[in-house]
Every structure is written in structure tokens, then in C-alpha cells.
Chain A
Amino acid sequence: MKYKLGTMAIAGLMAASPVMADLVFPSLSYRTGPYAAGGIPFADGYADYFTMLNARDGGIGGVMTSVPECETGYNTEKGVECYESLKGGGGLVYQPLSTGITYQLIPKTTADDIPMHTMGYGRTSAKNGEVFTHTFNYPANYWDGASGAINYLLAENGGDLKGKKIALVYHNSAYGKEPIRTLTELSEKHGFEFKEVPVDHPGQEQKSQWLQIRRDKPDYVIMYGWGVMNQVAVQEAANIRFPMENFIGVWWSGSENDVLAAGEAADGYKALTFHGVGKDFPVFDDIQKHVVDAGKAAGAGDQIGTVLYNRGLYAAMLAAEAAKTAQEIHGVTEINASQMRDGMEALEMTEEKMAALGLPNFGPAFKVSCQNHGGDGLVGVTQWDAKAKTWTLVSDFAATDKELIDSLVAEDSSAYAAENNIEPACQ
């Protein structure tokens, strides 16, 4: 009896413990709750890429990968619990997919010597790697988004926005308020009038905001929304007959979810992006063959090529490439989180590398360094075709206002360093 109980206890422990030989990439996903429609495709893309690496390449550097998931429900407290519960499993990098969770995890991951990747979200000034040693936000951040939108509009208007009115419709939260400072500075620099239009969570009722826009008649509207706010905003913009081609959402307001509900009325709506759209890339053939057809897809396999699936896949690809870099730097295949951080800090994505991975021109080329955890901040613009139900990239990945953004990053990160007694330095 004792022998049986002992065997069962050991078996239980083995089942509960992670397989330490795996390279573990935890996924803080949200497949339930109000934001599930956005969380599911991202989590599927993230998991499917690693499944493909395991099936096609035998993992990374010969070591298999695993993607344990924890459901956060886009809730900050649950997200922190997820981090704490998965921490013991040897996770190499955390991607919380929530600005709220990111803010809570910045001090924790730094103390635990575990890197965090917040691609296109989170604390923008984390770009300064000398202060935020364990947080990375390459290839672009919120302020790049604001500047990218203005640069695109400058190009559309022959380089002159003087006298134009630009409104920012934003989620009334820390996330939504991120671009305000940047846009205020840019309005002074380029001479356009800037107006803020906040929308309360969750954003199901926006009549007041769009009546304001109808009255003020801005030339352009930029949106920083998430979840149901996006769908309602696109519908309300159509209702007041605001020209869709003058309405630009940040990348969190630019997925199929955000425009499908409005039908034909959403035709011409634009959104920023830092990665490619559609599934016309060789990597998707491998995903189909090794993951979907093999019955190993994280979801139903019907999200492949959608904006948020691609973003999840891109995040996984960047994590895998950083892991490869870490393996090269340290000369070991079974890397730990600290070594992964070094790999992320030395990551360089070139066009040749992306083409070899089956993702030619999928994202901008960039190089990470100790001083720059955010990459070069190149931003592109996509446009929705309601008839074909597809997004098309209508601009190149273009440079943002580096001078302004770098100065804002320096200001904000210095304040954070002073508050937290951090002496900025490279690790």
C-alpha cells in the first residue's frame, strides 16, 4: 500500500511539474470575457507557431518548446496570479497582452530576472533598456503609433497639416491616454489643431462622442480603442457619415473583429500596423501542413491570416529568434530566462532572416540593444476592403518621429528611475 501511494505521489509530482528540458514560452491568454474575440486569435497564433517549430524543426536548436496557457480574462489581478503560478515552470519570456498587467509585472519580472515582451503595448518608455532592463517593446510602441499616423497624414497632405483638425477618440484608460502627450507635441510642431475625445469603458455607447465629432468636423480621427469600443466607433463613424479613409485606428483597433460588424459601411477604414497582413506568406503553408492538417491547431484553424492571429504568430517568431540568439550567445541549447533576456537584447531581425523563416517583408527590419529595447519603431498603414473582407497594406513600414519619441522616452524613463531608485545602466 505504501509502495502504491509513493508511486502515485511521484507520478502526481511528475505530472504537475514542467518538463524542464522544454523551452517554455508561457501564454497569458484571454479566451473568455469581454475581450475574448481579440485574445483568442492572438493566443492561437502564438501557440501554433511553436507547435510548427516542434513538428517541423524539432523545436529550437534541437530542444522542444512548450506553451503553457493561463487564462487572464484581460484582468490585471488574474494576470499577476497567472505570472506567479507559471513562474516556477521555467518560463523564458512573458507576453501579457495587456497594458494593465504589464505595469504590474515590470517590477516583478525585473526582480525575478525574467524578460517580458510587450509588443505594441505596455509602458512605452520601457524602450529605454538602461532603466527597464527586463522589459522589451520592439518593434513599435504606442508613441510610434501616434507619430506614424501623423507622418502618414503628412504624406497624404503634401507634408503640411497646418490648419487641419485631428481628433483622438480613445479608451479612457492608461492605454488610451498614452498617445495624448505625443499628439499634443506633434500638433505644436506641425500646426494642426488637436482634440481629445475620451470614451468610457467598455464603449458600447458612444453617441455623445460622435455627436461632438459631427459638430466639430475634424479632418481626421485617430482611434486608440480595444474590444467593443472599436466596433461601436466604426459603426457610429459610418452613421454620421464620417469619411472612413480619414479614420485611422492604432493596431489594437485594426482587426477583422473591429470592422466586420459594420459591414459595407466600414469600407476604407484604416489602421496602423507593425506587421504584415493576410496569409500570403510561405510560413502559413507549414502551419497548415504541420499544425492544422495534423490536428494540432490551438483553435479551430479558421483564424489563420487574420490580423490578430498574425500578431500572435509574429510575437512567437520574435521570441523563437531571440531564443536562438540566446543559444548562440551562451553556447547552450537549454537556456534559462536570464539568458533569454540577453538573446532579446541582442536580437537583430533582417529581411534575409525573415525571408528564410517564410515571412518575407512581414515586419520591419530592426535591431535591439541595451539602450534601445523598442527597435526602430517603423509603422505601416493598412486599409479595410469590406467587399473582399481583407486588409491591405497601403504604405511601407515608415520611420516615426525618432527625435520627439526618444526625448519623451528619456523624460518618462528618467522619472521612473528616480521614483524607483534605479541607476540606469546596461546589464
Chain B
Amino acid sequence: MNEQLAFTIEVFLNGLMAGVLYALVALGFVLIYKASGIFNYAQGVMALFAAMTLVGIQNGQVPFSHLINAIFGTDIHKFGWSVHSFLAIILTVFVMIALAWAVQRFVFRHLVGQEPIILFMATIGLAYFLEGVADLMWGSELKALDVCVAEGACLPQGMNTWLEATTYDALGYGFFIDNLDIVASIIAALLVVGLVMFAQYTKQGRAMRAVADDHQAALSVGVSLNFIWILVWSLAGFVALVAGIMWGAKSGVQFSLSLIALKALPVLMLGGFTSIPGAIVGGLIIGVGEKLFEFLIGAPFLGGATENWFAYMLALLFLVFRPQGLFGEKIIERV
């Protein structure tokens, strides 16, 4: 196989994988926006908070230990045990549900009927609040993240040797695909299927869709807005946990994890803020587009590091010609 073509295909495949990771972050935004019309600025921080909570529970870290020690003059940091990844994930999900309840109870319940910009500002406040709480709870230092389902069966890292050997035998060039990216793709696919099935075939899912369509109509038939919003924020919290695990496994869990939200914005602009499949397709287009542009044009002719620029330029183009995104609902307001 022609070497340049082989490299291009390799870049394309890796772009798809990167796109899946972007889509994982974008999914959380879509869930909340679709059900409540809130653009959740705190989604990236939720991923950080979830990942820090997971590592903290796994390592048996005492939450708020620095604060406790400073107030009471103690020197406690760890419980002295470690928790299995599976159990730690379940406990983290409960923490995220509690967070969803608290967010609804103490913030958004008081803002029902406010302008969308007010709700958006509230999520900015929430982001800073959560970042501070995460710092107080678990500390600011970088933490390595190992999620293992059994002894020796942890999230895999490194090149997939089977794929490399197979493509080398077949095409004369061994393609590079990261094992973690393959796992992330499978998990993202399961997550999307799960979310779609939940929305289509469960009572709560149908209620969620009803709220998304028309709050007033849903209320009139007895759907509890309060419950649905807690449910949606919980689901977004779960998606944030999955995104936090996948991104945290690459770089360790640290405060820059909250910046992954920046990767989701062009995906949302392209795929639409209200479509789960849109988040996936948008992620894939952005992932492939930015990688191919960097490979074919950015690095050879523009000095490189064009990915962020290209992603937002592409999203801007879509905004100009299709403001609602590829899969978003067209807003028609009668005056």
C-alpha cells in the first residue's frame, strides 16, 4: 500500500477514535439541554468531580481531610483500605445522583421560569463551586487512575498489537490504534444505545422526552418536573463519570480535566444541542476533520497545532449555514 495513503487512513481512524472521546463529553451537555434548555457550563467540571470522587473512593481517601486536619489539628488522610473499581464506580454514581438532587433542590428549583441566560449563569457559578468543592474534598494533586474489573483486567493502554499485525500482513503497513480508544468507542456505543432505549422504552424515559418537548404539557398530565430534572442531571453525571474515566486514564486525574468541555463545544455546534446521535456524529466529524486537516494541511503548510482552530472554524461554518446543527431541531417562533 502507498505509504502516504496508509498514513492518511491511520490518521482517519485515529480521528474517529478521538471523535468518540469528544462525543462522550458532548453527550452530557445534550442530555441536560434537551430536557431543560440549560446549557450546562459545569459539564466539564462534573467530569472532573466524578473522576476525582472515583479515585478518592478507590484509594480510601478521607474526603475533606485537609480541611478536617486544619480545623481539628489531626493528621488523617486515608481510611487505610482500597475499594474495588466496580464498587467505587457504583458509589461514585450515587454521589453524582446526590449532586444532581442538590443542584436541583438548591439551585434550579429557585430559578424555574427564568431566562435561559440566567440559567446559564447559574451553571457558571456551579462550575466554580464544584471545582472548589472537588479541591477541598480530594486535594489538587494529580492522581493516577486505574479502573480494573478484575485482577489484571484494567483499562488497557498502548497500541493494539493484533490490529497492527493484521493490517501489516494484509496491507504491508501496521496501523496504530490505541487500546483505550477502542474501549472508549465500545463504551460510547453502549452508552448511546442504552440512553436511546431508556428514552424510548421506559416510563421515565418517555416522561423525560415529554418534558423535553413541552414542560407545560408534561406537567398537565402529571409528570413531575422536579423528578425528571434530577433524573436528567443524574444521567449527565453518569456520562460525566464515563468521560472522566476515559480522559483521566490518559492523563491522570487533575484539574485540567475540566477543560475537556472545550472539546465538546464545536461538537455541539455541529451536531446540534438536542440530539444524542448528533453528538456522536458531530464528534466523529470534528475528530476526523481536525486530524486530517492537521495531517494534510496544518502540519506541512501552517506550522502545525491547527486542531483546535479547525474544530471551531468548522463549527462556525455549520452555524452560518445550519444554525441548529446537523441534527438539531429547527426553531420556528411565530410572532
Q: Does B18 contact A (CB under 8 A)?
A: yes
CB-CB under 8 A for A202 and B256, given A235-B157, A265-B158: yes
Known: A205-B263, A231-B142, A300-B69. 11 other contacts (CB 8 A): A37-B254, A40-B141, A172-B304, A172-B305, A199-B305, A211-B295, A232-B251, A239-B158, A241-B158, A257-B142, A261-B144
* Closest B residue by C-beta to A40: B140
Decide: B291 and A295 in contact? CB cutoff 8 A: no
Decide: B18 and A265 in contact? CB cutoff 8 A: no
Q: Does A238 contact B (CB under 8 A)?
A: yes
The 3 closest A-B pairs by CB, nearest first: A261-B252, A34-B256, A198-B305
Q: Does A184 contact B (CB under 8 A)?
A: no
A20 CB to nearest chain B CB (Å): 28
The interface residues of chain A lying within 8 Å CB-to-CB of B135 are 32, 36
The interface residues of chain A lying within 8 Å CB-to-CB of B251 are 204, 228, 231-232, 235, 261
The interface residues of chain B lying within 8 Å CB-to-CB of A257 are 141-142, 252, 254
CB-CB under 8 A for A300 and B299, given A208-B294, A228-B251, A241-B159: no
Q: Does A197 contact B (CB under 8 A)?
A: yes
CB-CB under 8 A for A238 and B157, given A40-B141, A207-B291: yes
A200 to B293, CA, bound (A): 15
Decide: A37 and B141 in contact? CB cutoff 8 A: yes
A212 to B291, CA, bound (A): 11
**What are 22 sample pairs from A and B whose C-beta atoms fall under 8 A apart?**
A32-B135, A34-B258, A37-B141, A37-B142, A198-B305, A207-B14, A207-B291, A208-B11, A208-B14, A211-B176, A228-B254, A228-B256, A231-B251, A232-B250, A239-B158, A239-B178, A240-B176, A257-B142, A257-B252, A257-B254, A260-B252, A263-B144
Report B59-83 residues with CB < 8 Å from chain A CB: 66, 69, 73, 77
Interface residues on A, range: 35 or more
Decide: A260 and B14 in contact? CB cutoff 8 A: no
The interface residues of chain A lying within 8 Å CB-to-CB of B256 are 34-35, 202, 204, 227-228
B133 CB to nearest chain A CB (Å): 12
Report A247-291 residues with CB < 8 Å from chain B CB: 257, 260-263, 265
Q: Does B326 contact A (CB under 8 A)?
A: no
A215 to B49, CA, bound (A): 37
Interface string of A26-37 (1 = CB under 8 A from B): 000001111111
The interface residues of chain A lying within 8 Å CB-to-CB of B69 are 300
A199 to B73, CA, bound (A): 44
The interface residues of chain A lying within 8 Å CB-to-CB of B132 are 32
Q: Does A214 contact B (CB under 8 A)?
A: yes
Most A CB within 10 A of own CB, among B140, B254, B299, B305 = B305
Q: Does B230 contact A (CB under 8 A)?
A: no
Chain A residues in the interface with B (C-beta under 8 A): 31-37, 40, 172, 196-200, 202, 204-205, 207-209, 211-212, 214-215, 227-228, 231-232, 235, 238-241, 257, 260-263, 265, 295, 300, 302
A232 to B253, CA, bound (A): 11
Decide: A211 and B11 in contact? CB cutoff 8 A: yes
A156 CB to nearest chain B CB (Å): 26
B320 CB to nearest chain A CB (Å): 24
* Closest B residue by C-beta to A215: B7
A229 to B265, CA, bound (A): 20
A198 to B14, CA, bound (A): 18
Decide: B259 and A202 in contact? CB cutoff 8 A: yes
Please tell me which one of the listed residues B10, B145, B247, B291 contacts residue A204 in the complex, with CB atoms under 8 A apart: B247
The interface residues of chain A lying within 8 Å CB-to-CB of B10 are 211
Decide: A231 and B252 in contact? CB cutoff 8 A: yes
Decide: B141 and A208 in contact? CB cutoff 8 A: no
Q: Does B113 contact A (CB under 8 A)?
A: no
The interface residues of chain A lying within 8 Å CB-to-CB of B252 are 228, 231, 257, 260-261
A424 to B256, CA, bound (A): 42
Q: Does B308 contact A (CB under 8 A)?
A: yes
CB-CB under 8 A for A37 and B11, given A198-B305, A257-B142, A261-B142: no
Report B1-54 residues with CB < 8 Å from chain A CB: 7, 10-11, 14-15, 17-18, 21
Decide: A240 and B159 in contact? CB cutoff 8 A: yes
The interface residues of chain B lying within 8 Å CB-to-CB of A197 are 304
A362 CB to nearest chain B CB (Å): 24
The interface residues of chain A lying within 8 Å CB-to-CB of B304 are 172, 196-198, 209
* Closest B residue by C-beta to A173: B305
A196 to B302, CA, bound (A): 12
A302 to B76, CA, bound (A): 12
Please tell me which one of the listed residues B66, B131, B178, B308 contacts residue A200 in the complex, with CB atoms under 8 A apart: B308
A239 to B251, CA, bound (A): 13
Decide: B157 and A204 in contact? CB cutoff 8 A: no
* Closest B residue by C-beta to A201: B308
Please tell me which one of the listed residues A36, A212, A227 contacts residue B140 in the complex, with CB atoms under 8 A apart: A36
* Closest B residue by C-beta to A264: B157
A31 to B158, CA, bound (A): 32
Report B232-262 residues with CB < 8 Å from chain A CB: 247, 250-252, 254-260
Q: Does B222 contact A (CB under 8 A)?
A: no
The interface residues of chain A lying within 8 Å CB-to-CB of B144 are 260-261, 263
A239 to B160, CA, bound (A): 9
